[in-house]
Structure 1
Amino acid sequence: MNPLVSICIPTYNGEAFLKEALNSIKLQTYNNIEVVVSDDASHDNTLNILERFKSEVDFSVNIYHHLPKGIGANWNNCIEHSNGEYIKFLFQDDVLETSCIKEQVDFLRVNKLKAVCSKRLIINEFSEPVDSGGWYSFNYDLQKNIDFNDYFFFKKKHLKYSSSIMHNLFGEPDTFLYDKSIFNELGVFNENYKQILDLEFSYRLLEKYTIGIQNKRLLKFRLHSNQATAINNGKTLPERKEFICYVGAKYFFYLSKSAKKMYFLEKIPVLQKWGKLKVWMGFK
């Protein structure tokens, strides 16, 4: 029998796009699923949409009311209440391709891995493909520096492909399918981080396991003005220094030269001042 997959949906005032996200679950070719919702006290029509969805499907849909404590706490509450062998996040803005769960479950089982992620298609608030713009140019293909065909087995040594510690080489949590056992073994998402908690978890996962990457766009990732990605774009995140120093120390010998430089500049701030002084004095 196919293993149970828990589709975890952390919600907060998601009425704008939630119906489309939920409809993509109905269309999945993989049938052994449950839906676990953790709602952070939504005050729009989110809960009504979820209750109607629950009445329309023949699989388990459990809705848990959660006291808001940040996005990490909401994600982790989903995991805590899940019963599946595998965890599949779906954010309220995004859309699963019809074969997403089946293809990812098959990939994990065939290759005996604990986690797999896929590429994704970028869409806008009208569900139209995005194919231009600054964010798109930098983030559309997160693995563009890696040459591979159908799939890639990403190990620590492949961190050399990234020029920046802050660059996410994998993707958002809902591009992943996780074996639930890894959360028991490695811990859940770090709730102290506000924005890069998914990247921190991927680095933590990479410490022990290979991450599979599928060269197929199995998720539609929605870019719009009200999401955290857009709101935080360009901001200096409070966890940035801590995160760079953590990754730099743990994976130093695997990093590219530019990523190592980033680590040293954060670890030893005086180097940043010296670099500015050299520019001011006319030295390269």
Structure 2
Amino acid sequence: MIDNEEGAVADPLVSICIPAYNSASFIEKTLNSISSQSYRNLEILVGDNCSTDSTGEIIERLRQSDSRIVHVRHQSNLGYVGNLNRLLELSRGEYVAFYHSDDVYEPSIVQREVQVLTTNPEVMGVFAKAKNFNHDSDVGRPLKQRFLESPLLKKGEGYVWGGLSSFLPLLLEHGNVFVCPSFMARRRSFDRTGLWCDSYQGVEDVNLWLKFLRHELPLAIITDCLINYRIHDASGSASLSSRAVGFLKEMQFKLLDDFLRDHAPALPARQLRRYQKRKSKEYLKIARSYQDANQYGRYLEYVQRSRDAYAFPFYTKRMLMQRFPQLYFKLTRSP
């Protein structure tokens, strides 16, 4: 059920899609930051995924003062990806943005992203840099994102951009280099990539970015911080991370491994080594977490996976013996 069809902007240039579920604590600040955008020609579609708190009431109250807000009430919980796809289907803009219901957006983010897409016809999707903040402070801490200085990226006015050859090495070495809830794309891009997909749970966003790059749809990142990314226990990534130690990292590595096997062009050996090196480091971090939790079976498994991931492991035998002496003797003793 959709409320406020009559009051919505006719033929909007930009559709802002905001999936929401039990977002009562944060969604008012989010929607106020969207309503206050300097770019006015937009519609704001909020997909309420059967919230059990006051999310729906807050959306209803705010749409009374901003006719561009469209309250999309799902009759059943569609899940995160289903919510995104339903909002995309309902949207009418030439450009479609996917923002989150717990973040706060700078007044110029929509205008800046539209500007990149209108001035560079090669770019199919655009992101912005972010500041992280939590409920204890409204002051964000900028993400470093030093990779934005990479010579692999092309330089635009206030942004960097590129295709598969530019971003794949960065994704392999650094992980997800894009801030998901700042994403805006040309509608026609989805004719090539298809809809959002939940084949790789927790990294649905990286899966979509790889589809853009695989289909030769270049992406851009604005080099100014235009989104305040909220860190809290109820966020989607926090909830997924709590399922199992290293769950999100595992899913991201599976996605990247599958992509390298099925779609990626031949890469220089040094880029693949950097990827394996990152995997080795992350597996060691997971191993330490299992050690702290006294789960020694899993701890041993991930230390061995770390050593297997990289041909020149971070922990040589000597270093391993010094840092994890009991583990060293278990791994090296004769059967």
Shared fold per TM-score greater than 0.5: yes
SS of structure 1 residue aligned to 2:205: helix
- The alpha-carbon deviation at position 116 of structure 1 amounts to 1.0
Separation (CA, whole Å) in 2 of partners of 1:241 and 1:150: 31
1:123 maps to which of 127, 133, 154: 133
- The alpha-carbon deviation at position 68 of structure 1 amounts to 2.1
Q: Provide the TM-score with structure 2 as the length reference.
A: 0.71
The structure-2 alpha-carbon separation of the partners of 1:167 and 1:274, relative to structure 1 and needing over 3 Å to count, comes to closer
**Alignment match, 2:193:** 186
Separation (CA, whole Å) in 2 of partners of 1:213 and 1:108: 11
**Alignment match, 1:245:** 257
CA contact (8 A) 1:116 1:213 kept: yes
Separation (CA, whole Å) in 2 of partners of 1:273 and 1:216: 35
2:67 is the counterpart of 1:58: yes
Separation (CA, whole Å) in 1 of partners of 2:260 and 2:205: 17
Equivalent residues in 2 for 1:167-186 (5 A)? 167-172=175-180, 174-186=181-193
CA contact (8 A) 2:47 2:74 kept: yes
CA contact (8 A) 1:160 1:254 kept: no
Separation (CA, whole Å) in 1 of partners of 2:171 and 2:309: 22
SS of structure 1 residue aligned to 2:64: helix
1:143 maps to which of 147, 152, 167: 147
- The alpha-carbon deviation at position 65 of structure 1 amounts to 1.3
Separation (CA, whole Å) in 2 of partners of 1:68 and 1:129: 33
SS of structure 1 residue aligned to 2:147: coil
The structure-2 alpha-carbon separation of the partners of 1:177 and 1:160, relative to structure 1 and needing over 3 Å to count, comes to closer
- Alignment RMSD (CA, Å): 3.3
- The alpha-carbon deviation at position 64 of structure 1 amounts to 2.9
Give aligned pairs, total: 273
The structure-2 alpha-carbon separation of the partners of 1:69 and 1:152, relative to structure 1 and needing over 3 Å to count, comes to same
Q: Partner letter of residue 90 of structure 1?
A: Y
**Alignment match, 2:166:** 158
**Alignment match, 2:229:** 221
CA contact (8 A) 2:172 2:256 kept: no
- The alpha-carbon deviation at position 251 of structure 1 amounts to 1.9
1:257 maps to which of 272, 275, 282: 272
1:202 maps to which of 194, 203, 209: 209
Separation (CA, whole Å) in 2 of partners of 1:127 and 1:246: 39
Separation (CA, whole Å) in 2 of partners of 1:97 and 1:2: 24
The structure-2 alpha-carbon separation of the partners of 1:181 and 1:257, relative to structure 1 and needing over 3 Å to count, comes to same
- The alpha-carbon deviation at position 38 of structure 1 amounts to 1.4
Separation (CA, whole Å) in 2 of partners of 1:273 and 1:52: 53
The structure-2 alpha-carbon separation of the partners of 1:41 and 1:100, relative to structure 1 and needing over 3 Å to count, comes to same
Q: Partner letter of residue 165 of structure 2?
A: K
- The alpha-carbon deviation at position 32 of structure 1 amounts to 0.9
* Identical pairs, percent: 24
Instruction: Extract unaligned runs of 5+ from structure 1.
Output: none
SS of structure 1 residue aligned to 2:224: strand
Identify the structure with the greater helix proportion.
2
The structure-2 alpha-carbon separation of the partners of 1:129 and 1:143, relative to structure 1 and needing over 3 Å to count, comes to farther
Greater gyration radius: 2
CA contact (8 A) 2:11 2:93 kept: no
Separation (CA, whole Å) in 1 of partners of 2:64 and 2:310: 63
CA contact (8 A) 1:38 1:63 kept: yes
- The alpha-carbon deviation at position 193 of structure 1 amounts to 2.6
2:37 maps to which of 28, 31, 47: 28
Range with bigger deviation, 220-229 or 16-25: 220-229
Q: Partner letter of residue 45 of structure 1?
A: S
Q: Provide the TM-score with structure 1 as the length reference.
A: 0.83
Range with bigger deviation, 40-49 or 112-121: 112-121
Separation (CA, whole Å) in 1 of partners of 2:96 and 2:125: 10
The structure-2 alpha-carbon separation of the partners of 1:180 and 1:199, relative to structure 1 and needing over 3 Å to count, comes to same
1:235 maps to which of 239, 243, 246: 246
- The alpha-carbon deviation at position 140 of structure 1 amounts to 4.7
Range with bigger deviation, 194-203 or 143-152: 143-152
- The alpha-carbon deviation at position 97 of structure 1 amounts to 0.6
2:308 maps to which of 266, 272, 284: 272
Instruction: Extract unaligned runs of 5+ from structure 2.
Output: 1-9, 281-304, 318-330
Extract structure 1 runs of 4+ deviating beyond 6 A.
262-265, 273-276
Per-residue CA deviations over 1:158-212 (Å, capped at 9, x if unaligned) read 246537367002221x212111111122101112332100011001101211111
CA contact (8 A) 1:117 1:212 kept: yes
Separation (CA, whole Å) in 1 of partners of 2:56 and 2:106: 24
Separation (CA, whole Å) in 2 of partners of 1:48 and 1:6: 22
CA contact (8 A) 1:166 1:244 kept: no
